[in-house]
Each structure stands twice: as structure tokens, then as C-alpha cells.
Structure 1
Amino acid sequence: MACSNLYIASLNSGSNGNCYYVGNDREAVLIDAGISCRETEKRMSRLGLSMDKVKAIFISHEHTDHIKGLSTLSAKFNLPVYITPGTLKGCRFNLREDLIRTLFSRQNIQIGDLNISSFLKLHDAAEPHSFLVSCGETKVGVFTDLGAVCEELTSHFRQCHAAFLETNYDEELLSRSAYPYFLKKRISGGMGHLSNKQALDLFTAHKPSFMSHLLLSHLSKDNNCPELVTNLFKEHANGTEIIVASRYTETEVYTIFEPIAVHSF
């Protein structure tokens, strides 16, 4: 039986671009394509990851920092793009018709030995979705651009051996920032982004005992601090490795190991 380890990396995470790699030994997918095609290739090459293994791109929503490199990347490597009709309508460029795959909520898509499931999230976009990528029993969640924690998010988070989880802003830093009032309300109003505290509450209440890695994602440049949020989560990690997904460069590749079966006799 094939090994179901997963290999994950953030190629970039933040309002300047988002792109996440999840794969096994044979195939991989990208969640979002918010950095240029050239930069995607460059960062994957530095990590020793091959574009030949990437079989599809999944798009969470139509905001520029999630689709900026999509058209060129998809066309250059003939990669199918899984995207909802509402998200596709919100894109301001044309994708090749032959590469468009319609995505729906609560759909399970098989890409080789990878299974990608989608579910709706709370965010101010047309049809925003989060994803759970599985290989055998190993599961990785990509949970960013979240206005609030909902039951769907909680249910999927409990299944994860690793997750990319949004920790966009510190509440005090946001309140003291120079952002205009309407933007502060957009960020914190329930359809924008998840605060450190909201993410930590989810983590402490629902983290499964088998979660090995948590990548803190989509940090605000102005309203958060990598050291602050890392220290906050490490206090409650209980064996989970805490990593900040940078807005400036790629993370290393992390191996998420296949769960060990426990037999009772």
C-alpha cells in the first residue's frame, strides 16, 4: 500500500499574495495562485519541488492576492483550475476554457491519491471556500481569509494532522493602527479576517491530539507581529510545531506523516 505522507509548504502568505503547496510522492495541488508564475516556479525550485508533480490549482476566492498568477501559471503548465462559478465571474481575466473545472461546496475531488474537499467559509467574496486535502488518512487543511469561526471550519479543523490557519491581526494593534474606521470594520466585522485570539480559541478548543504542524497564515503587515503570535500559540502548542508562513518568502517543506494504526487485541 502506498505511503500517505503529505508534504506541505507555503510559497507566500499575506495580502501581497497567497499560494500553498500540498502533495504526496507522486502528485500535488496548489491552493491559490496569488504570486506570479515566475515567482511560483522560483520558490518551488528553491524548495526542491517539481512543477511536474502539480496536477491542479484550487482557488479559494477571487481577491487579487489569491489569483494574481493564476492565468499564466495555469496556461504554461496546462493545469486545470477548480473554481466556483461565482469566483470565476469575479476574476478580471480570462482562463482557458479547457482548463476550467467547476467547483461546488462539499465536493470531493480525486487527484491521483489526493482527495480535495471544499466547504464554504465566511468572507466578503462571491463564493469563498476552504479546503481539506487528504491522502489516505493524512489530512491537511487550508483555512485562510476567514471572517469568523463557523461549525464547518471547526469540524474540518478537528480532522487535521496539519493546517494553514489564518492569524491575520492582533486586536490591540488593529485598534491603534492608522487604518480608516471602515477598513478596521471590514477586517474585524465577521466577513473579513480572523484575529490571533479567534484563531487561538479555535486551536485550544478543537486541536486534535495528532496535529503535528500549524502554519500561522495571512499575517497583516501592519496589524500583527510574527514573534507576538508565535509566542501566543507556543504557550498552548502541546507538541504541535508552530510556524509562521511568511509574506516575503517560502517556508521550508514539512512532512506530515501517515498516522500510525493502533490495533487492539
Structure 2
Amino acid sequence: MSLQITSLNSGSNGNCYYIGNATEAVLIDAGISCRETERRMKRLGLKMDIVKAIFISHEHSDHIRGLEVLSKKYSLPVYITEKTMLHGGLNLHADNVKVFDEATPVIIGTLTVHAFSKAHDAIEPHSFMITADEICIGVFTDIGVPCSNLIRHFKQCHAAFLEANYDEKMLEQGRYPFFLKKRIRGGKGHLSNTQALEVFKAHKPAYMTHLLLSHLSRDNNNPELVLELFRPHAGRTEVIVASRDVETAVYHISAIPQVIVPQVQYVQGQLAF
């Protein structure tokens, strides 16, 4: 038994992550259009009819932009907090709205989804752990600091989507106004490359096979830079940059330790180490 994971898009222009098995799947966030979600899943050989639910991490537009159309077209339940629903200004069919909280895992067929709070400048932001058959997948983006919640869950993951939003030097020397730089690195914005690497080095479980570096800034980061940073520490973990322009490959994650060739790659195939 394995879980299939892919990033359909990752960045400030839209975020959407797929986790599933042969019979059911969930989407974490729906920040690209319904049409683009369909196109990318079709290219990967993934079917919308096994997607059973959408989970929303917070109300920022790059996480909910395609939600209303996607939920309506496929009658998909949307798991969201009441405050996120309100502050996102969403118009969802009442029957499709399912409120979640941190205390109660959500069961979607053979998948279990656990939500936990994170540090981000949204009204009620959450990260997610998706588990099935002892396989644990984490979705950890839009995080201001590597808090104890993140670390505790990261330590359990067979695979994870982990934010590596910006390079400190590029952000400092870049064109962003000071208030925006302060917001990004101020503890409720985003994780830097260095912060993400420290989480990986200090807390990666020995059995983690895949790490998808996510939510890279177009202006303050680049795939080659972050991959060079992670390369010496990858070990047996395959490190992939999730693109802000195209979907990644589909990765099959198992709870059984596998012998894989250590590599670090950019999703569009421009780099391979």
C-alpha cells in the first residue's frame, strides 16, 4: 500500500496539493482555477472522481482562488474553520461546508486528516497531516516560524511539503518595500531557506523518502539556490522543488523503507544531482 502525492501548484500565485490512494484522495487548498486543476490532474493520470474533499489552510487568495467553482462542480465537501470561511468571503453551498478543529481528526475513507495550528498572518491558519496505513504525509507551508507543532509533526513524516520561501540575502537586497520584507520574515510570514534546512537537518526521520520544497518566492528565491543548500544534507531523501508554474510528478510514498538513489532535483527537469 502507498499514498500518491503531487504538488499541482505551489507559490504566491496559487497552492494546491494532492494526497491519495487508489480509492480516495484529498486536496489541500484550491488556489488555482478549477480548469487548471483539472488539466494538471489529467496530465498526471489522476482522476477527480476519487477526490473526496478539500481542506483549506487559511483564507489568503492563493489558497482559495479556485475553491468555489471546484467545490460546486464536483459537489465536494470543504473542510474549513468558521473564521476562515468568514474572512475569506467565500460563497459555498451550505451542504458542502464542513467545519474542522484541531481536536478531531477527519476521516475520509481510509485517509485520516489531522489539522494543527501554525504561525501565519491569517485569521485561523492550519497545517495538515494526512495518514493511511501508517504512512504520514505533512503539508507545511505559509509558516512564520518552525514552532513545536511543526517540529512534532515533521518528525513523523514519510514525505512532506515544506515551505522554503525566501533566501535571506535576496530578500534583504530585493525590491520589496521594507514593510513587506518585515512581514515575510517577521515570525508570522514565511519560512526562509535556512529555517527550512534547519528543520530538515534536525528533525527529519530516518525513513523520510521525499521532501517537496514548497511556496518558493519568485522574487526572493530560486530553485537552483535552495537545492544547492539542501544537496549536502539530502542523504536518502529525494528533495524536489515544487514549481509555481507546473505540477510535479506523482510520487508514491510507502511506510516500508525503500532503497532510493539520493538525488536533488528541480521539478521541470532542469537540474539533477
Give the TM-score category using the shorter length: over 0.9
Matched, 1:233 2:233: no
Q: Compute the RMSD of aligned alpha carbons.
A: 0.7
Q: How many residues align?
A: 257
Matched, 1:161 2:153: no
In structure 2, the partner of 1:36 is 33
- Aligned with 2:219 (options 177, 197, 222): 222
- Identity, in percent, stands at 62
What amino acid sits opposite 2:67 in the alignment? L
Extract structure 1 runs of 4+ deviating beyond 2 A: none
- How far 1:105 moved relative to its partner? 1.8
Matched, 1:128 2:134: no
- Aligned with 1:103 (options 94, 100, 125): 100
In structure 2, the partner of 1:207 is 204
- How far 1:72 moved relative to its partner? 0.3
**What does 1:167-182 correspond to in 2, within 5 Å?**
167-182=164-179
In structure 2, the partner of 1:254 is 251
- Aligned with 2:6 (options 9, 31, 48): 9
8 Å CA contact 2:127–2:140 kept in 1: the answer is yes
- In 2, Cα distance between the equivalents of 1:190 and 1:259? 36
- Aligned with 1:117 (options 114, 119, 122): 114
8 Å CA contact 2:100–2:106 kept in 1: the answer is no
What amino acid sits opposite 1:149 in the alignment? P
- Name structure 1 gaps, 5 residues minimum: 261-265
In structure 2, the partner of 1:81 is 78
- Aligned with 1:46 (options 43, 48, 51): 43
In structure 1, the partner of 2:262 is none
- In 1, Cα distance between the equivalents of 2:148 and 2:197? 16
- In 1, Cα distance between the equivalents of 2:190 and 2:134? 30
Q: Deviations over 1:109-159 (max 9, x none)?
A: 110000000000000001000000001100100000000011010000000
- In 1, Cα distance between the equivalents of 2:55 and 2:155? 22
- In 2, Cα distance between the equivalents of 1:219 and 1:105? 27
**Normalized against structure 1, the TM-score is what?**
0.96
- How far 1:92 moved relative to its partner? 2.1
- In 1, Cα distance between the equivalents of 2:45 and 2:96? 26
What amino acid sits opposite 1:92 in the alignment? G
- Name structure 2 gaps, 5 residues minimum: 258-273
- In 2, Cα distance between the equivalents of 1:93 and 1:194? 27
8 Å CA contact 1:137–1:259 kept in 2: the answer is no
In structure 1, the partner of 2:143 is 146
- How far 1:234 moved relative to its partner? 1.5
- How far 1:36 moved relative to its partner? 0.2
3-state SS in 2 of match to 1:220: coil
Q: Deviations over 1:197-248 (max 9, x none)?
A: 0000000000000000000000000000100101111210111000000000
- How far 1:93 moved relative to its partner? 2.9
- In 2, Cα distance between the equivalents of 1:10 and 1:182? 30
What amino acid sits opposite 2:171 in the alignment? L
- In 1, Cα distance between the equivalents of 2:109 and 2:174? 46
- How far 1:258 moved relative to its partner? 2.8
- In 1, Cα distance between the equivalents of 2:83 and 2:8? 26
3-state SS in 1 of match to 2:90: coil
- How far 1:103 moved relative to its partner? 1.2
What amino acid sits opposite 2:167 in the alignment? D
- In 2, Cα distance between the equivalents of 1:100 and 1:248? 29
